[in-house]
Amino acid sequence: MSSSPLGIKHATMIGAAGEYYVLARLSLLGKIAAQAPRGVPNADIVLSSVGGDRLCAVQVKTRRGEGTDHGWHMGKKHETLIADGLFYAFVDFVSTERPAPVTYIVPSAVVAHVLEVMHRTWLSRPGKNGHQRKDSDFRRFMPDFTINCGEQAAPYTLGWLDPYKEAWHRLPS
């Protein structure tokens, strides 16, 4: 894994860029948002209504356009992390040379369901040389699961994430 001139891992810098990007977009949309303290397990950003009567948390997942599946790293815990006030902002910096990101705003219940169903589907398929796949805590959240699950990916094939693309309105006002 490459590092910045300061010795900070590149992935850490990309993750921070995603969080700052989401904060900037929320501010431009007139929303009250703040970065959660480091170490908060399930939130990167806390969002409040103007009156303070509605709160929600946003977990930011960032990628920079590399890899063949165009997905984001997730964990097993995300299959059960469900709350009405928890959303994910999946940020895709298509490339670091042209950082015009695409963001998907997805409720946690949708993320949990898709991860659980698609991981179970992936496990049921034969692995390399026909061997049974081994389970782990690693998960992928992808815009097209046909790469890993073939025809069994339906309905999570190319385009399934489109209703969440730039769907900032899904976040409470």
Which CATH number goes with the domain that contains 67? 3.40.1350.10
Compute the residue count for the chain. 173
Does residue 76 lie within any of the structural domains? yes
Q: pLDDT of 101-110, one tens digit each?
A: 999 999 999 9
Does residue 93 lie within any of the structural domains? yes
Model confidence, pTM: 0.90
Question: In 3-state terms, what secondary structure has residue 105?
Answer: strand
Does residue 133 lie within any of the structural domains? no
Does residue 57 lie within any of the structural domains? yes
Does residue 102 lie within any of the structural domains? yes
Does residue 129 lie within any of the structural domains? no
Q: pLDDT of 13-54, one tens digit each?
A: 888 999 999 999 999 998 899 999 988 889 999 998 777 788
Does residue 56 lie within any of the structural domains? yes
Query: What distance in Å separates the CA atoms of residue 66 and residue 29, rounded to the nearest whole number?
Result: 29
Does residue 66 lie within any of the structural domains? yes
Q: Which residues have CB under 8 Å from 24's CB, separation 6+?
A: none
Number of domains in the chain: 1
Q: pLDDT of 124-150, one tens digit each?
A: 998 888 889 999 999 999 999 999 899
Domain range for 64: 10-109+160-170
